[in-house]
Structures are given as C-alpha cells and as structure tokens.
C-alpha cells in the first residue's frame, strides 16, 4: 500500500505548485511584473541584465570591451593586484536588473530567488565546478546572521552544490570577527576591515585538506571579502580557491 502513496507524492507536489500559481501568479524576479515561470525575468528586465561573456580577464572575470583575438589576457588590475583566489566568475555586471535581483534576495527576503540565481551561476561557473572538490559559501558573522536570519551566500551555494554533485561545506569557514559595513570604504579600507575576519575551524580542516574549493557569494565588489576568505581557506589546507558570484562590480574600464 505504500508504493502507490509514494508514487503520488510528485503528482501532489505538481498539483500544489499549480494551485499556488493560480493564487500567487509568478512575477519577474527584478521588477515584479507578471511572468510565465517563477523566478523568470520579464523581457524588459532580461534586456537590462548585462551578462558577462568572453572575452574577460581569467583571474577577476571582468569583461573586456574588445576581442583582440590573441587568446586570454589579464586585466591591468589582475597584473597590478593579483587576487588570492585563482579565478573569479560572475553571471552579470552589478547594475540595473542584476542589482535589483540581488537586493530583492538580500533585503526584501525574496528567498525564492536563490534557486533561479543559483541555476544561472552554475551554468556560468561550469568550468570551475568541473574542477572543484567542494562548495563553500562566504559566511556571515553570527550577529549579522541573527539580524538578517539567513545567509544569502549559503542559499546560493547549496543548490549549486546539489546540482553539481559536490559536497556543500558551510561549516568549513567561519566569520570570527564582526566587521563594519563595507559600503563607502575604499579598496584599501575594505581589505583592512576584513583582516583576520575569517578562520577555518579545527573541525573544518579535514574537509579542506588537499581539496579545490569553490567559494560562493552574491556580489564581488573589490574582491576584498573573497581575498580574505580565500586566504583563510588556503591556510586551512585547501590547495586552491576559485570564486563564483551572481554579480560583479567592474573595476576596470570596459
């Protein structure tokens, strides 16, 4: 008698989703206009999403304006300020539609946006995921987590790990020092603000030894947070750290 009951679970879930869709029609992830699918973008917002495509800097993932046809080139910033992480990739530039999506997830409690965002990130970071051994979200300090009630990086990292068949390791990295908001700080100020903010706990070290880590966050601004987190992960035993985010604040001229 249990088999027919178990077999009916997917059908019941499908029916429930359909019923909820009638009561709460799906809306655009950025502007709230009606759409055909949950988490989708309306045509106007889709055209406002500045997707990052080749050619781009292989270290920071910053797009170049022109394709010179001579293979991968480092950006001036990557030459002058090499990041601690190996490679950074992002879905889109942090403006317009991408900014709206991140803000709705982060500040309007639109947790339902995490899965479609993660799906786009997994597609964009396919090359990084193919070489990764585990997925680690950038952690929040416990007091900030208490106030916000969720860590947006973990919400993105979990479905990325699940869809890629990789271990999800949220406990491998801790934020041990509360820092002031990075908003308004210079690049040097951001780096100083994050000094000593992350640490790999003793219980997390065995999960990092000899492994290549994919570090996940929502936005890359100057890279200071990713650098501080990557430095802690490498000290904790990781062999390499790559970075995957949904959006990127471009630092070099496009």
**Nearest Cα to Cα of residue 234 among 211, 216, 202:** 211
DSSP state of 53: -
Q: Which two tokens stand for residue 19?
A: 């019923």
Poorest-pLDDT segment among 63-77, 144-158, 213-227: 63-77
Strand partners, 137: 216
Q: What is the pLDDT of residue 254?
A: 47
Strand partners, 248: 93, 220
What's the average model confidence in pLDDT over 79-99? Answer: 96
Token match 């800097």: residue? 57
The average pLDDT across 31-38 equals 78
How high is the mean pLDDT of the chain? 85
DSSP category for residue 171: T
Task: Tokens for 28, please give them.
Answer: 């655009």
Is the pLDDT score of 174 beyond 80?
yes
Residues 6+ apart with CB under 8 A from 155: 105, 111, 114, 118
Report the side by side order of strands in the sheet with 88-93: 88-93, 240-248, 212-220, 134-137
Name residue 175's beta-bridge partners. Answer: 198
pLDDT digits (tens, 9 = 90+) for 47-66: 889 999 989 999 999 998 87
Please say if the pLDDT value at position 214 is more than 50.
yes
pLDDT at 24: 55
Helix (H, G, I), strand (E, B) or coil at 167: coil
Residues in the chain: 254
Cα 57 → chain centroid: 18
Reported pTM: 0.84
Q: CB 4: neighbour CB atoms within 10 A?
A: 7
Q: Are strands 212-220 and 174-175 parallel, antiparallel or unpaired?
A: unpaired
Q: Residue holding tokens 């309007």?
A: 108
Q: Which of 30, 26, 41 is nearest to 97 (CA)?
A: 30
Q: Phi-psi category of 57—alpha, beta or left, where left has phi over 0 and alpha has psi -120 to 50?
A: beta
Tokens in use for 58?
Answer: 């292989």
The per-residue pLDDT for range 96-117, each reduced to its tens digit, is 999 999 999 999 888 989 999 9
Residues 60 and 88 sit within 8 Å (Cβ to Cβ): yes
Q: Regarding predicted confidence, which is higher, 89 or 72?
A: 89
- Residue-level pLDDT at 71: 67
Average pLDDT on 208-222 reads 96
Chain centroid, CA 243 distance in Å: 8
């Amino acid at each position: 008698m249990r088999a027919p009951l178990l077999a009916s679970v997917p059908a019941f879930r499908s029916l429930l989703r359909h019923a909820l869709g009638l009561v709460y029609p799906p809306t655009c992830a950025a502007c709230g206009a009606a759409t055909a699918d949950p988490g989708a973008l309306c045509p106007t917002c889709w055209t406002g999403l500045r997707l990052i495509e080749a050619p781009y800097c292989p270290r920071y993932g910053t797009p170049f304006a022109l394709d010179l046809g001579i293979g991968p080139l480092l950006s001036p910033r990557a030459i002058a300020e090499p990041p601690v992480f190996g490679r950074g990739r992002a879905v889109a530039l942090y403006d317009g539609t991408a900014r709206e999506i991140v803000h709705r997830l982060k500040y309007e409690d639109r947790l339902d946006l995490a899965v479609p965002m993660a799906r786009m990130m997994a597609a964009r970071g396919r090359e990084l995921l193919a070489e990764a051994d585990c997925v680690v979200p950038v952690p929040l300090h416990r007091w900030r987590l208490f106030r916000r009630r969720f860590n947006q990086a973990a919400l993105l990292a979990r479905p990325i790990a699940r869809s890629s068949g990789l271990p999800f390791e949220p406990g491998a990295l801790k934020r041990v020092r509360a820092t002031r908001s990075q908003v308004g700080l210079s690049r040097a100020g951001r780096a100083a603000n994050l000094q000593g903010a992350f640490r790999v706990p003793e219980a997390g070290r065995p999960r990092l030894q000899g492994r290549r880590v994919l570090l996940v966050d929502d936005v890359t601004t100057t890279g200071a947070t990713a650098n501080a987190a990557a430095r802690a992960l490498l000290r904790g035993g990781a062999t390499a750290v790559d970075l995957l985010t949904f959006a990127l604040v471009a630092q070099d001229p496009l």
